[in-house]
Structure 1
Amino acid sequence: MGFLTARSLPFIILLIMTNPHPMLNHEINLSINYSNHVKSHPTTVQRPEVEKLTHEDVVSLTRTFMDKLVQETDEQYRVIHFHSKRELVGDFRDVSSLSLAKRIVDLYYKEHDNQLYIIPTETPPWFVENQPYEQEIEGEQVKITQYNKTELYGNYKITLYFILDEQHGWIIEDVQYD
């Protein structure tokens, strides 16, 4: 079997077209030089460059997140544009992970008699857009860390984790406080 070598491996393809007339069946021989075929396909895979998370992205996403968190209400704190936590959580999908949205909505809202109510309280400590922050890339995730001081919360550290979502672009995956 000396004809089967790594350099030149013949492939024979037998094509038999089935039809009611056996005289129309055909046989085709095809020979391919295997070593040339392998050389024409690179073995290293190039990853596309990941879209960079810009300052404008961070500001836009954190603003929009807070805008979604603070909903318009009537005098009884009933939310005007949403009737359930589930509806409100779904509205966050273009700026945050659903797990983060659910955690935040569960903390700041309650449902009663098929209506959604905001729990009157202060907004959480949040990203301050005109303050410096550190940006660190961790695999597929970008970590933003910021140290702030406010009268209400005193000194705090906020860490926001961003991921690139296939449908919505950059979103906030998680938020942690120290």
Structure 2
Amino acid sequence: MSKSFEERMKELEEGYNDMPDTVSADQIIQNVESTKKKSSWRKIYTTGGGILAAGIAALLIMSQPGLSPGNGDSPPSASDNQEESQEMTSQQDEDTPALTRESAVELMNSYKESFVSLINETDNQKIESYQTTDEVKQHFANTMSDELATWMTDSYFTEEDDGVYVIAKDGPTWFQEDQSFELEEVSEGHVKIVQERENELLGHVNMVYHASFQENQWVVDDIETNELGGSEGEETSTDSEDSIKDTAQTVLDLINSQDMGTLSTHVHPDKGVLFSPYVNIQEDARVFQQEEVANFFDDDQEYEWGVYDGRGDTIELTPAEYYEEFIYEADLQNPDEVLVDERKQRGNMRNNIKDVFPDATVVEFHKEASENGGMDWVSLNLVFEDGPNGNWKLIAIVHDEWTI
């Protein structure tokens, strides 16, 4: 009596389980056949069931770990390895996000904030958040490579019995987001952030911040300072003029777009920014600090900004109203002149900007009258001084127009 399909399957599996790990499909079949006691079963198996058994045996042998069909111990081919390598490389490329200009600024600001936040919380030079320098190093590891975090910790912090103290010395040279910079890709996951800087402390240098992609995030990996030459001479003067023009253009763009939050970061942190409706600045001119500039358009209070020329009435306006009347000029998006420290007497009102700010640099955006001898000319003077970190900071916005 022939056996059922289920019984034959069971015998095949038993034969398979008795075989060594590396056998062929034919060997499995032969082993099963040798265990048969009835010739009638063998006959049925070898004729009607042979093909089925061979197929099942092939499936069973394929299920053995590490074996491939046809030859159980053959290694993967070179083409298989190459395809797998290409897939892994492609996956790695996808996992490394590009460092854009926006993300570079965000990284550099986070890098600075990780240091400044500790300095700001000190009490008699002792920091409050951490008790050991290892904890400080771990804090820096969020934005820095392990090597840079170690250097930063060892250079600026010391561990005492009662906690961690700041070492009194000049701080690092920080990236300035209000100044131009370049991104240079060195290799996959390695980008240089290059910014030209010039002040009395640094001289004329290129600051090079190396960013690398480590452990699924971009971090600051290393810092270089490359000298660019002396700080005197015509070439340096031209570079300085270009730098202040770039900063002034950035400020003007922020004014035109009403981005007062970003504009506030360009305001001098100690002096604030003075607003004058005319080039003859009065002693009681209105001054806003950084926070007030950031909330400029949210402030509904009326302020006194000076006196209207020719009328004598007090200028009482909200910040938004003052902006419309004495700051924003659509024509200045395409000025006829952009002058740096060139005082021109355009109307009959005395320009005393340099008297009030003798150490400042004045950038004037000027639009000529629509016709010769016309009275609809307008200028906006942006006044800058060196900030605490040697970068240009806005200290005054002075409007100028035809007056009686």
TM-score range, shorter chain: 0.7 to 0.9
Partner of 2:213: 164
Partner of 2:137: 89
Percent of pairs with identical residues = 27
Instruction: State the alpha-carbon separation in 2 of the partners of residues 121 and 43 from structure 1.
Output: 54
| 2:101–2:183 CA contact under 8 A, matched in 1 | no
Q: How many residues align?
A: 156
Q: Which has the higher contact order (CA 8 A, sep 6+)?
A: 1
Partner of 2:160: 112
Going from structure 1 to structure 2, the CA distance change for 1:43 and 1:110 (only over 3 Å counts) comes to closer
Structure whose residues are more often helix by fraction = 2
Cα deviation for residue 153 of structure 1 reads 2.6
Partner of 2:182: 134
Unaligned runs of 5+ in 2: 1-14, 20-31, 37-52, 63-68, 71-76, 227-404
Taking the TM superposition and a 5 Å limit, the aligned residue runs for 1:46-85 are 47=90, 48-49=93-94, 50-70=96-116, 71=118, 72-74=121-123, 76-85=124-133
- What SS does the corresponding residue of 1:17 show, helix, strand or coil? helix
Deviation per residue, 1:116-168 (Å, 9 max, x gap): 1111233211211122222111122111111112343332221111111234x
- What SS does the corresponding residue of 1:138 show, helix, strand or coil? strand
Instruction: State the alpha-carbon separation in 1 of the partners of residues 81 and 169 from structure 2.
Output: 59
Give the letter aligned to residue 164 of structure 1: F
Instruction: State the alpha-carbon separation in 2 of the partners of residues 43 and 77 from structure 1.
Output: 58
**RMSD of aligned residue pairs (Cα, Å):** 3.2
Greater CA drift, 51-60 or 98-107: 51-60
Going from structure 1 to structure 2, the CA distance change for 1:29 and 1:110 (only over 3 Å counts) comes to closer
Instruction: State the alpha-carbon separation in 2 of the partners of residues 16 and 132 from structure 1.
Output: 73
Deviation per residue, 1:78-119 (Å, 9 max, x gap): 011111211011012221101101101111111122411111
Give the letter aligned to residue 16 of structure 1: Y
Structure showing greater Rg: 2
Deviation per residue, 1:53-72 (Å, 9 max, x gap): 01222222212212221211
- What SS does the corresponding residue of 1:16 show, helix, strand or coil? helix
The normalised TM-score by structure 2 is 0.34
Instruction: State the alpha-carbon separation in 2 of the partners of residues 102 and 69 from structure 1.
Output: 13
Instruction: State the alpha-carbon separation in 2 of the partners of residues 174 and 119 from structure 1.
Output: 21
The normalised TM-score by structure 1 is 0.73
Partner of 1:16: 16
Partner of 2:193: 144
Going from structure 1 to structure 2, the CA distance change for 1:120 and 1:42 (only over 3 Å counts) comes to closer
Instruction: State the alpha-carbon separation in 2 of the partners of residues 105 and 177 from structure 1.
Output: 20
Give the letter aligned to residue 212 of structure 2: I
